[in-house]
Amino acid sequence: MEKVVERFLRYAKIDTQSDDDSKSSPSTEKQFNLAKLLVEELKEIGVSNVELDEYCNVWAELPSNTNKEIPIIGFLAHMDTATDFTGTNVKPQIVKNYDGKDIVLNKEKEIVLKTNDFPDILKYIGQDIITTDGTTLLGADDKAGVAEIMTAVEYLVNNPQIKHGNIKIAFTPDEEVGRGTDNFDIKKFGADFAYTVDGSKKGELEYETFNAAEAKITIKGNNIHPGSSKNKMINSMRIAFELNNMLPTDQKPEYTEGYEGFFHLLNISGDVENTTMKYIIRDHDKTKFENKKALIEKVIEFLNKKYLPNTVNLELKDQYYNMKSKIEPVFHIVETAKQAMEELDIEPIIHPIRGGTDGAMLSYKGIPTPNLFTGGHNFHGKFEYIPIPSMIDSVKVILKIIELYSSK
């Protein structure tokens, strides 16, 4: 089990950040660096049908070692890291026997993980915790998931007395930019159902996601010398401010939780003449989701009437949908994961994902895929950390799920 830590530390140091602005697949060539390493390790472990395709999907298979008819189970994790914060030159560090105090991540830059800001860390007093050095994200989302699946698979290979059905393994690129399954061959994968190992703290088990859309907005202004601009200048940045203020204040991510959806302004850049904005729109409820999209369209229609036609242009694209409706007909896959955790004395935390996973897209493509925890916290930023015992527990849950289906 200790190999899960060795693997994660090795994977975390490889820069695999994806790029939302790239049109290629994968969005960044550097994701192949981790993919190629995983292919080598899978072959060394001794699994079958190991393959790396042109789109940076890694495939592998652990054949059944029993004549018993058992469902084909898949396990997936994504190799890329988030675009929100740099993933270059990651330097993981291990805090041994955490004492419950604030953790100085970087003394020189005075970057401190404070318990007042992140009180969940106090649950892990006495444990070894992997953190960043304060200058990058850590990449537990989702290299921890990769390491946990790899470790579980190796454990099964080295312990052939544990009976199991056919196990499918896949590692994907570009999940963080919403394109993780764009070139994913469902037939090649061939699982009856699957689990992504892409959740957060220990015990998380998720089968509901947001419905998700992306709104890219361009605003055209008219730049005139400010000394003679009366009734002539159109300041595209001010229109951007106006647009943002017309969206509901209480429907921003910093004010929402649970099943509450939001409009999230990801980035904005511009000058008087041209401004671009990017939003993501999220809601678990399909009707509310459609209403949110309709609202942003109405806001832009209003602004084009107030100013000039085509002053504000919108490119609105759905990204994924709530996978709940696809998982409920085969709810045993959630119940079995819950049973696995309970048998390991892990309290299941079943709640909606306030984000997305490859599982949402896979569920709509025909492979129902709920999400299991990795053990990590504070994803996508410099205060990311993961307790080592939680990683080991994730490996145990994967193995227990396989065992439960083999014993039915």
Q: Report, as residue numbers or ranges, the catalytic residues.
A: 80, 175
Nearest residue to 197 via CA among 174, 178, 172, 177: 172
**CA-based max dimension of the chain:** 84
123-135: b (≥16 Cβ within 10 Å) or e: ebeeeebbbbbbb
Question: For the chain, what is the total number of helices (H) and then of strands (E)?
Answer: 10, 17
Dist. CA 403–CA 384, nearest whole Å:
32
Nearest residue to 85 via CA among 124, 133, 117: 133
Q: Which stretches of 285-387 are DSSP H helices?
A: 286-306, 324-327, 332-343, 358-365
Nearest residue to 6 via CA among 41, 57, 51: 41
Measured in whole angstroms, the distance separating CA 74 from the mean position of its chain's CA atoms is 18
Answer yes or no: are the C-beta atoms of 179 and 25 closer than 8 Å.
Answer: yes
Answer yes or no: are the C-beta atoms of 65 and 163 closer than 8 Å.
Answer: yes
